Chain A
């Protein structure tokens, strides 16, 4: 993760595809949510016209560019949201659900004026509101499980085996 404060930032992000750096301008959370429909090219969908042109040329010219665009798309999703990319994706998807979106909007939050990091933080806060420690741990756990094929990217931040067992025990209610 680039910074502990990444979720608060409204800076452009930079991706590198086939050795070429492309700057992706700041986009509000709603634009990120819309781009999730094509996760593998999310960065291209968020790019400005010049960036799209550059990425088009790279994809057509270099065989590895499609894979690199995908990897960079996932990276910036995590970077902008301040969490693992799949957590950001899940929180964005959750925020579009009728009840959650309704509550967020009624609270005054607007996905067109909030950064993806802020929007995910608001969604998370709403999802764990009123939950006890066990419920919160369950939500955190379900959020943190990487999608199939990305298990190697899972880092729960716990290196101590005893702490891991305690966390598992807490989740299963055996403590």
Chain B
């Protein structure tokens, strides 16, 4: 990964690395989630952004846990976005946590 910035987020006992979601995309997602539009469209847009941020292997692992009922849909989508946005807004890369 080199100098690439990422954030480590714990999801029910497992740590995953997420690349930052571009600021404009975060704004779009927050608007769509808050405007009370179709849940399907919101989730689709959100999972697309999170899949890119997590990378295919990690996203597969997260979706497997969702399918196995280890995670709820909210935990696997909005929950991750909230944590990621919080971390991004503080601009605290995972290395700062000593990982």
Contact = CB atoms under 8 A, between A and B. Distances in A.
A and B pair up: yes
B24 interface: yes
A57 interface: yes
Contacts of A52: 35-38
Contacts of B38: 52-53, 56
A45 B36 contact: yes
Size band of the A side of the interface? 10 to 19
At the interface, is chain B mostly helix, strand, loop or mixed? helix
A73 to B, nearest CB: 11
B24 A41 contact: no
Nearest to B34: A38
B85 interface: no
Interface string B22-43: 0010011001101111100110
Contacts of B34: 38, 41
Given A59-B28, A60-B28, A66-B27, A45 B45 contact: no
Interface of B: 24, 27-28, 31-32, 34-38, 41-42, 45
